[in-house]
Amino acid sequence: MIDRTSPEVRVPRLLIVHHTASPALRAMLEAVLAGARDPELAESGISVEVAPALAANATDVLAADGFVLGTPVNIGYMSGALKHFFDQVYYPCLGAKPGAPYGLYVHGDNNTTGAVRAVQSIATGMGWAEVVKPVTAVGPVGKDAERQCYDLGATVAANLALDRPARRIGTTDG
């Protein structure tokens, strides 16, 4: 159990940056939040912060220990809002969070490949570590996609609870 009275205790912070432009993305975001706030993780004391992509900034990134990113697909790419977020934080935060765990969820009408590839490329450039396979949903968001989003939120949060960067849960590296 975490001793919250000790001044040396630093609570891990998970930052969820999202562009929620539809009911489908709202369902995915809510599932991610439920997973990140899973009662089994509550004892670890992780702080879960949520920021719309147009409001999140470099200060938010520098204060965070891990990230979940959510975006719709717009013209085969991530949303302009998430791109704006990356444009604002890329150079001020470049290399500031090496190995920080991150996860991604994406919703599209017909194809999510371009959006996933673009976000992965930028996150890799930032030095972040993808710890769970991206959740992609095309068309209506069903219970399976919601369960995957729950697992995504819980996996990224659990990696923060471990507080051991060398041992990642659910890494996509195998």
pTM: 0.89
Range of the structural domain that residue 96 is part of: 13-162
Which CATH number covers residue 83? 3.40.50.360
Of 154, 148, 114, the C-alpha closest to 134 is 148
What integer is the mean pLDDT of 38-67?
A: 95
Which of left, alpha, beta for 172 (phi over 0: left; psi -120 to 50: alpha)? alpha
Specify if 173 maps to a domain: no
How many domains are there within the chain?
1
Which of left, alpha, beta for 12 (phi over 0: left; psi -120 to 50: alpha)? beta
d(CA 73, CA 71): 6
Question: 118-129, pLDDT tens digit by residue?
Answer: 999 999 999 999
Specify if 1 maps to a domain: no
pLDDT of the residue at 5: 52
